[in-house]
Amino acid sequence: MTRRSALAWIGLLVFSAGVVAEGVRKHSAVTPVPREEDWWVQRHESANARAKQGAVDLIFIGDSITHSWENAGKEVWKKYYTHRKAMNLGFSGDRTQHVLWRLDHGNIDGISPKAAVLMIGTNNSNKRDNTAEEIADGITAIVRQLRVKLPRTKVLILGIFPRGEKPSPQREKNARASKLASKIADGKMIHYMNIGVHFLTPDATLTKEIMPDYLHLTRKGYEMWAIAIEGKLRELLGEQP
């Protein structure tokens, strides 16, 4: 076994030990599983191929909201991130358990980005699928996995974006999950931002101008996202103000 392989195994053991030590019980949000849809498998393989090419300084990890940087957010991505050698690891419909599986099966192998932006968990919050605490466990597990596999990468956790036209129990669940997950931030290698307020009117309403289905962003919404994190991203990437 090479020194690099040995270190990788030690890192994975530390990761596992950390989960057990902090008393996180096993549940669906922290149990890595793949998905079987053809498009998902193809996207996973494409992501692995992109990682093998190297030259990645920034990664975005998430579900359909991140995936759609390639659709509604395409022009905004080009404006803010293409020149930063960014890679989109958003998969529509993904939950924390799917991200955990992807990250351990090639999506980030061989790269060492300066920063990773993580926004995940809303799909875990449907009905009784997972509690806020379980969603937070899933987010935390992903961050720990990133720290093990990408020790030089600074992680920016984003609070789960608000969904639904008006405040609701699901919004509250996601807000609580985000707050719980934010506790892992240390202000050094792990950072946290909650930018959801930027998408809401003063009375906490989501408008179709920002999210036409009250979940996925319009181009304007992606522009707001990019602007909201730009200062922090510059900091994490080591860019001049």
Is 203 designated active site?
Answer: no
Catalytic residue among 27, 28, 64, 104: 64
Q: In which order are the strands placed within the sheet that holds 190-193?
A: 86-90, 58-62, 115-119, 154-158, 190-193
Q: Are 123 and 63 in contact (CB under 8 A)?
A: yes
Is 64 designated active site?
Answer: yes
Residue 193 three-state SS: strand
d(C-alpha 126, C-alpha 134), whole Å: 13
Catalytic residue among 44, 67, 191, 216: 216
From 35, 37, 63, select the one nearest 174 (Cα to Cα): 63
Is 67 designated active site?
Answer: no
Q: Which residue is listed with tokens 């975005």?
A: 60
> How many Cα atoms within 13 Å fall on the side-chain side of residue 158?
27
Distances (CA, A) of 85 to 93, 112, 240: 25, 12, 17
Q: Are 174 and 196 in contact (CB under 8 A)?
A: no
Radius of gyration of the chain, Cα coordinates, nearest whole angstrom: 17
Any idea what the Cα angle at residue 15 is, between residues 108 and 236, rounded to 5°? 50
Q: Which residue is listed with tokens 């304007």?
A: 220
Q: Which residue is listed with tokens 């195994």?
A: 9
Active site residues: 64, 213, 216
